[in-house]
Structure 1
Amino acid sequence: MSDPLPTILLVDDEEHSLAAMRMALEDDFECLTAMSAEEARGLMQEHFVQVIFCDHRMPGTTGVEFLTEVREHWPETVRIIITGYTETGDMISAINDAGIYQFLTKPWHPDHLMMVAKNATDLFRLTRDHDRMSLEMRYLSRSVEAKIEEQRKALREGLGFEAVLRAVNSPMNAVIEQARQFATFDVPVVITGENGTGKGQLARAMHYSSLRSEKPYFEFDCSSVDDDILEIELFGARRGALPGLTSNKTGLFQKVDRGTLYLSGVSNLSPRLQLLLLRAVRDGAFRPVGGHELRHSQVRLLAGTERDLRIEVAEGRFNSELYYALSKAGLTVPPLRDRVGDLAILAQTLLFEMAEKHGKPVSGLSDDALQFLSEYDWPGNMRELENEMVRMLIFSQDALLGPELISRHILQASPVSDAETETSVDRVLIGTGTLKDRVEQIEMRILRETLTRLKWNKSRAANELGLSRVGLRAKIERYGLVDPKRSSEPTSGEEE
């Protein structure tokens, strides 16, 4: 018999909001709904509620006031308040008064709501387990309790797999499931993926889900680092080994003893460094620069690479013995272009984080903006997406960010419907096809980008492109370009 679903109480005075939240959560949770604090209070007395989502602005008793009462009578229940960024000051007070675990901003994304709910129920379970273990270990040393609290803190700070944002059907789900299994086995793992795909975040989550979670964790990027400096950073150096080194330097393999070391860019290591690393991985032995005696360290090594190490071995650029020593297990992180379903939650979350950091309130990205973002291939992956969110935030004038704020090269990307064509303008220029066809591909993208950037003001677009209004209209019809805001409305005349 399967375990009962966790119970969540949804409180909002707007019926459509309750229905939307229930629809997003009801497959994984037992959902109770209330349209007032009084009704919610009655449900709390009748049911074993693990998590509450409560709207802040309600007539009569506010969300903060109600959750303050919940904190007093049902302190174990995880309390989450739903609000807008304009109420940030109120929320600081709410966190103190009502013990709010998290506040969710409007408009929320269903996948984000689901992830917050799962994290909250995990926290509820973890807190109860912690309380139970604390009672069982009342007469044990205080250091054991401190370690449990440290693990709880690590989970809440988002160091585990829960911090990897993704949609319900994301291709990252299979990767994370593999990573969870690898985490519990004390073996080296090679994590392959393009730059900016989140390999370091995955490595960190594996450490905090492993038996070494209480031990040190360090990350180091081996790319573009001089051999001499890299050798010292990894293995340390004796005093006087190099000019200006007046004291012994402790290397990462000594610092991370019994812990986890994540080295990114291992495919860039020189042959000499590959041999030194091989000895450290295979035998746990290393010699500090300028030292004579071997030192030993029990380090679990996680290696990140943007290139397939099997190909590097086949072409003679990577030591085959080191490859087999490192690749007891392997993970491949998909690029952002293969995670189109994740883009909405990733972009919105990054935008809200940047908005909070810079103190500029926003309500999210419009559907049209998300559509353009999803049609771009993101060669810079998460780093490029984060930069784009910052740029859009800087230039935004309204709370809801539209496609006119998106960078021009992204607006000019090939639409999803043209998936069989080359997406890069450079590739169109050097590709195959008639001159007419290739010119039309570029012309269509320029028109689409200009109209979007100018919010489909055809007078301004025609003027910028040096076309007449009639000529612009003819090209719009020729390429089947449609104003998203008017695509579902009958045409009543032409806008300026």
Structure 2
Amino acid sequence: MNAHATRSTLLLVDDEPHSLTAMRMALEDEFEILTANGADEALQALEKEWVHAIFCDQRMPGRSGVEFLTEVRDRWPETVRVIITGYTDASAMMAAINDAGIHQFLTKPWHPDQLMIAARNAVRLFQLARENERLVLEMRYLANTAKTRLERRRKALQEGAGFEAISRAPASPMNLTVDHARRYASFDLSVLIHGETGTGKARLARAMHLGSLHSDKPFYTFNLAGVPSDLAAIHLFGAKRGVLPGGVYKVGLMQKADRGTLYLTGIEHAPVDIQLALLRVLTEGTFTPVGGQEMLDTNVRLLTGTSADLAALVAAGRFLPDLFHALSVGQVSVPPLRQRRCDIAILAQQHLAELSLAHGKPLRGFTPAALDFLENYDWPGNLRELIGEVTRMLVFAQDEILGAELISRHILQSLPGNPARDGALDPVLVTDGSLKERVEQMETRILRETLARHRWNKSRAAGELGLSRVGLRAKLERYGIMDPSGRGDDEDEED
């Protein structure tokens, strides 16, 4: 590589040849030198070469040094401009600084050391300007990149854990619930989420937080069920020093969740003193830590969840009517899983994928018969019960596809195709109908459950039930029970 390739380039402009020669001799040991005997020749050089600094005489035929450097400033603003003059008129200097952006004046006669120092300073200024420009561009890029990443992350978070993460079928009753929750989310209102235990109220509350103006602030949850009043007050409102052992100061959720969202589930269990304190938070935006006297401000958004009929509790005098009205400015009802049968296959598959990944056991899905049983069970424990059942199936699974034989017996004994009935046998015992009809219902369920557990091996099922294969086949034909896999009786495996 050429040793001069990394050296800075200077353009010397003067109409006197001996002046150009003298400047070249003073600077050429350290810099690459270009020369021009006037403004026109200098412009041609600038169009061809990358120049770091220009040393130009002021008095030249045609255009003066200031006129030439003014054009340079417009076309090549990064090039440092130094003018050499034999005159020291202050007004002329100011005009040159304003018009041409002159970095430095050198007066004639100049000394070689003076010229070298000026050249080094000019080049250094050029390098600093370029470095500053690079840093500015880099900071802009990093800022834009960070902003883009933050927006992308926030969007992914909202989509991953927000409303889009609430799995449901196109015709699901849950769609109306999500639509209402999405509308309430963007308004800074208190919302009461009502639904049976295990229906996913907390997930809906988190989705509302992520879809709100508080999405970049904290989200906290607290369950009031079974928590004594004094302990609930400490958790919610904090405690001054001296209240708790060790003399520590406890920061409550109202302070932690300031400008964020606090989701309180089991609100029907809140004692009266907690209800009064919550009412103050909602109406005045203030609270008092346990053991304190001062009022602290909070701008928390309060979402509450309940599985009880709060209006009935108000009527019974067990819940403050003012708090009920303050909490239920917006109301969202989450349907139980028995009303979302079209969602069960989707939910089961979703949770199976999550559990499979969490436990490191790769599984692909469910057999049609397994889904048939899952979809026709009423799930009194809702999503929690479904997740528990899928977990048990995963534990005992031997194949990548989970079959009906892995399902718990009380679910297998449910009656497919009749969503109105509960999955347990008890309703059969108290329902209307003749003894023969009710016995047939029980017998049908027992047959299906036993066959499912034995993977429709009729020999084994018959043996467990104390029937012959012929007797079992007759009962199956009588009740219209068929192997969901479509296998015929001649394909049945023998013991």
**Counterpart residue type for residue 374 of structure 2:** L
Evaluate the alpha carbon distance shift between residue 260 and residue 345 of structure 1 in structure 2; reply closer, same or farther with a 3 A threshold. same
Contact 2:353–2:363, Cα closer than 8 Å, also in 1 = yes
Residue number in structure 2 paired with 1:369: 370
CA shift, 1:235, in A, is 0.4
Long gaps (5+) in structure 1: 1-134
Structure 1 CA distance, aligned partners of 2:461 and 2:167?
A: 38
2:361 alignment partner AA = K
Question: Amino acid of the residue matched to residue 467 of structure 2?
Answer: L
In structure 2, C-alpha distance between the alignment counterparts of 1:245 and 1:267, rounded to whole Å = 33
Shift of 1:473: 2.3
Q: Which residue of 1 aligns with 2:441?
A: 441
1:190–1:330: 8 Å Cα contact kept in structure 2? yes
Deviations 1:141-170, CA, capped at 9 Å, x for gaps: 95x975664443233242321111122222
Displacement of 1:225 after TM fit? 1.0
Partner of 2:205 in structure 1? 203
**Aligned counterpart, 1:401:** 402
Take 1:325 and 1:341, find their aligned partners in 2: how far apart are those partners?
35
Change (3 A) 1:140 1:473: closer
Q: Is the 8 Å Cα contact of residues 154 and 160 (structure 1) preserved in structure 2?
A: no
User: Which amino acid letter does the alignment assign opposite residue 189 of structure 2?
Assistant: V
- 174, 185, 188: which is aligned to 2:187? 185
Structure 2 match to 1:292: 293
Unpaired runs of at least 5, structure 2: 1-135
Residue 472 of structure 1 deviates from its aligned partner by: 2.0
**Counterpart residue type for residue 366 of structure 2:** L
In the alignment, structure 1 residue 431 sits paired with structure 2 residue 431: yes
The 5 Å alignment of 1:82-161 reads: 149-157=149-157, 158-161=160-163
Partner of 1:262: 263
Q: Please identify, of 425-434 and 184-193, the stretch whose mean Cα deviation from structure 2 is larger.
A: 425-434
**What SS class does the counterpart of residue 234 from structure 1 fall into?**
helix
Q: Could you tell me which residue of structure 2 aligns to residue 303 of structure 1?
A: 304
Contact 1:265 1:306 in 2 (8 A): yes
The 2-side partners of 1:318 and 1:284 are apart by 21
Query: 2:347 aligned with 1:346, yes or no?
Result: yes
Highest Rg: 1 or 2?
2
State the 1:477 CA deviation.
2.1
Supply the distance in 1 between the matched residues of 2:493 and 2:475 (Cα, whole angstroms). Answer: 16
Aligned to 1:246: 247
- Measure how far apart 1:491 and its partner are: 6.2
- In the TM superposition, residue 140 of structure 1 has moved relative to its aligned partner by 11
Q: Secondary structure at the match of 1:154?
A: helix
Aligned to 1:452: 452
Deviation at 1:273, TM superposition (A): 1.6
State the match for 1:412 in structure 2. 413
CA distance in 2, matches of 1:235, 1:494: 66
For the structure 1 residues 148 and 270, does the alpha-carbon distance in structure 2 shift closer, same or farther, using more than 3 Å as the test? farther
State the distance in 1 between where 2:259 and 2:491 align.
72
- The 1:232–1:330 alpha-carbon spacing in structure 2 relative to 1, beyond 3 Å, is same
TM-score (norm 1): 0.67
SS at match of 2:308: coil
Identity %: 53
> What secondary structure does 1:330 align onto?
strand
Instruction: Note if contact 2:411-2:423 (Cα within 8 Å) is conserved in structure 1.
Output: no
| 147 and 478 in structure 1: CA distance in 2 versus 1, 3 angstrom threshold | same
Change over 3 Å in CA distance of 1:279–1:145 after alignment to 2: farther
> After the TM superposition, which of the residue ranges 258-267 and 273-282 deviates more from structure 2?
273-282
Matched-pair contact (CA < 8 Å) for 2:410–2:424: no
Give the deviation of 1:374 after TM superposition. Answer: 0.4
Q: Structure 1's 337 and 314: CA in aligned 2 closer, same or farther, altered over 3 A?
A: same
Give the match's secondary structure for 2:161. Answer: coil
Secondary structure class of the residue paired with 1:324: helix
RMSD, aligned CA: 2.5
TM-score using structure 2 length? 0.68
**Partner-residue secondary structure (3-state), 2:331:** strand
How many angstroms apart in 1 are the aligned matches of 2:303 and 2:400?
Answer: 42
Output the CA distance in 2 between the equivalents of 1:337 and 1:413: 13
Change (3 A) 1:136 1:382: farther
Q: Distance in 2 between matches of 1:300 and 1:169?
A: 31
Offset from partner CA, 1:397-447 (integer Å, 9 cap, x none)? 11111111111111111212x345454312222333333332322221111
Distance 1:136 1:168 in 2: 47
> Counterpart of 1:481?
481
Match of 2:389 in 1: 388
Per the alignment, residue 12 of structure 1 pairs with: none
The 5 Å alignment of 1:463-482 reads 463-482=463-482
Change (3 A) 1:181 1:383: same
Given the superposition, is the C-alpha separation of residues 139 and 492 from structure 1 closer, same or farther in structure 2, using an over 3 Å criterion? closer
Per-residue CA deviation, residues 99-136 of structure 1 (Å, 9 max, x unaligned), is: xxxxxxxxxxxxxxxxxxxxxxxxxxxxxxxxxxxx99
The 8 Å contact of residues 378 and 422 in structure 2, kept in 1 or not, is answered as no
Change (3 A) 1:475 1:204: same
